[in-house]
Amino acid sequence: MSEVVAWVIATIVTIPLLGWYIIYIFSAKMSKNKSKSIQRASDWTTVLFMIAVNFIIVELWAKSFLWVILAVFFFVALIFTFIHWRLAGDIHVGKLFKGIWRFNFLLFFMTYLFLSGFGLLLRILS
């Protein structure tokens, strides 16, 4: 049984789109609200996309750039905090964190798609 659980977790981490879809389906069935389900799935799989981007980078270049991924995450947080402070004059932590988290989802989702395509093309041409 533990092997099955390990296989499911490994699959979801290495294929975060599958994890996103599973969370979306589960949330949509429970809440009956598709837009909230998309948001929940995106929020819950941000870390999966970050890990997947790291694994793809390791596979392509045989080096871990986890520190760069974390630096990008915190740089985005810094920029968002500064912009939020300049526009609102006051920092609303919940709203700020949600914006940071969702922007990072979009950033790492796009990076995941780009690196997946790049890796496929690289393997086809070599």
Residue 32 in 3-state DSSP?
coil
CB-neighbour burial class of residue 77 (10 A; exposed 0-12, middle 13-18, buried 19+): middle
What is the Cα–Cα distance from 120 to 126, expressed in whole angstroms? 10
CB-neighbour burial class of residue 45 (10 A; exposed 0-12, middle 13-18, buried 19+): buried
pLDDT by residue for the chain (126 residues), tens only, comes to 778 776 776 676 678 998 899 999 999 999 999 999 999 999 999 999 999 999 889 889 999 899 999 999 999 999 999 999 999 888 889 999 999 999 999 999 999 999 999 998 998 998
